[in-house]
Amino acid sequence: MVILQGKSVFGGVAIGKIQFFKRDEIQIKRRHVDDPEAEIRRFRTAKEKALSELQQLYDKALTDVGEANAMIFEAHQLMLEDPDYNDSVENIINTQKVNAEYAIGVTSDNYAAIFEAMDDAYMQGRAADVKDVSNRLLSQFAKKQNASFEMTEQVIIAADDLAPSETVQLDKDKVLAFITVEGSANSHTAILARTMNIPAVIGIGDTLTPKYDGKLAIVDGQEGKIYIDPDEEILVAMRKKQAVEQEQRELLETLKGKENVTRSGQKINLYANIANVSDVGAALRNDAGGIGLFRSEFLYLENETYPTEEQQFAAYRQVAEMMAGKRVIIRTLDIGADKQVGYFNLEKEDNPAMGLRAIRICLTRPELFKTQLRAIFRASAYGQIAIMFPMIISVSEVRRIKEIMDEVKTGLRADGIAFSDQIETGIMIETPAAVMISRELAKEVDFFSVGTNDLTQYTLAIDRQNRNLDSFYDSHHPAVLSMIQMAAENAHAEGKWIGICGELAADLSLTERFLQMNIDELSVAPGMILPLRKKIREL
């Protein structure tokens, strides 16, 4: 048995034979041409054919994976029509008097290199798009069009990498999983895999070779592992894991579209917690009523420097659009404590959990805060966005935040940039101080969301990262539950709603207790939404 390790893109277990993806290699040769104008006409004709193919792919993807993911091929059409790309191709043909194929190949390499050199992981992923678009153009010149990849049985697709157009054309009924040598978790292909519910492991490296073609394998998407020629013990264990997944899928299908309501008629909202744009697919598949916690700090954790306003705006806008009018609650930057970012240059602290973190960083670095707020407010024009502020301990903090938000709004109006005037603002209840003054805080905001992880830590005076204290740590401690209840009562007394977005929200043993507290919303990992709905409907 051989075990290969890669990066998980989408969970799930698949068992079957490996089939390596084969594509016709397009050979590019440099040829001198006497009539550059005729060669440019060849290029433009090929471009029109490629645009037509991309439109067909868009139509197919629209049916298979929805509008948000079909837009990949709309973006590819725009890339093909990009003036800089076209000017580069035609300029090479004119100045060097060479064939269109060579000019396309050089332009493709140049543009892909630019994207690959960028620090941003999302932009690096666009290099694959440039190559995909260019290969589509080049295929128009080939006498023999690339034959479609044939699968005679259900298989695990293996490849060096897969372009979005290749992924969407696969026969989904015959794809058990896909595994790749290279690949980015931020690539369109990865997003499509998650949307299509195909277990996927990428970045396996050179250990994944064609010598495994036809071998029996197991893909454990959750662990990012590939078992080739698995022994009987692993086969039995993985089949059991598959059976559990099948039960979950059946649960998902039966509960989709149903209300989160108890037998006695009490309703509660079930939202999803996400860390980035790629998690939205899982939220939608699991029938989330909205996004209760968008952990915006992951935009900072995944970057090598401060994400720009445009980067943040693009992410927030995409989530708002994909959720199509459902509430999206974006938590502002929550860096510090166990989430350290080098380029913030924070001083070393003896007790970082009680140090400069979250809203404290934002209020001491207002320009950083304003950049994020501008991006969020701009995105609010594209959906129902709400803002939530972490680690609040005083009314004065909330009032200072409001002043900064007013400054940001004034700046946006001056710049003529649209944003929603109906955006809700809320705070995290995760300190005992916030609980004790929650009645006063409720007068300042539209909602509360309880962060039970930190609330438990601060209430019990136990570092939740310290394994030596596990026997003392009790997330069900009566003091913690009493604090949640106090915050709920004070929120409702001021006519405001309250949710829970910490780990306790998904604790099925506490669901009934939370309903008794009249909690209005529970926000959990996408995979917990339907089990939680089942629990609620049985109470």
Active-site positions read 188, 501
CB atoms within 10 A of CB 96: 15
Asked if residue 317 belongs to a known ligand binding site, the reply is no
Asked if residue 467 belongs to a known ligand binding site, the reply is no
| Element holding 329 (H helix, E strand) | strand 328-331
Phi, psi of 131 (to 5 degrees): -65, -40
CA distance 139 to 145: 6
Asked if residue 295 belongs to a known ligand binding site, the reply is yes
Helix axes 529-538, 232-255, angle to 10 degrees: 60
Q: Which pair of structure tokens corresponds to residue 423?
A: 């955006």
Which strand ranges, in their side-by-side order, compose the sheet holding 175-180? 2-5, 225-228, 216-220, 13-20, 155-159, 175-180, 200-202, 7-10
CA distance 65 to 236: 33
Asked if residue 285 belongs to a known ligand binding site, the reply is no
Pick from 154, 191, 156, 163: which is nearest to 9 by CA?
Answer: 191
CB atoms within 10 A of CB 476: 12
- DSSP for 470-529 reads TTT--TT-HHHHHHHHHHHHHHHHTT-EEEE-SGGGG-TTTHHHHHHTT--EEEE-GGGH
CA distance 175 to 199: 9
Q: What HEC string does 67-118 produce? A: HHHHHHHHHHHHHHCCHHHHHHHHHHHHHHCECHHHHHHHHHHHHHHHHHCC
CA distance 388 to 359: 10
Q: 431, 454 in Cβ contact below 8 A?
A: yes
Q: What SS3 class is residue 417?
A: coil
CA distance 399 to 395: 6
Q: What HEC string does 158-198 produce? A: EECCCCHHHHHHCCHHHEEEEEECCCCCCCHHHHHHHHCCC
CA distance 406 to 95: 55
Q: 195, 22 in Cβ contact below 8 A?
A: no
Q: What SS3 class is residue 355?
A: coil
Asked if residue 453 belongs to a known ligand binding site, the reply is yes
- DSSP for 276-291 reads SGGGHHHHHHTT-SSE
Q: 106, 59 in Cβ contact below 8 A?
A: no
Residue 183 C-alpha from the chain's centroid: 16
Phi, psi of 404 (to 5 degrees): -65, -40
Asked if residue 249 belongs to a known ligand binding site, the reply is no
CA distance 220 to 193: 14
Q: 50, 85 in Cβ contact below 8 A?
A: no
Q: What SS3 class is residue 125?
A: helix
- Write out the binding residues for Mg(2+): 430, 454
- Write out the binding residues for phosphoenolpyruvate: 295, 331, 453-454, 464
- Write out the binding residues: 295, 331, 430, 453-454, 464
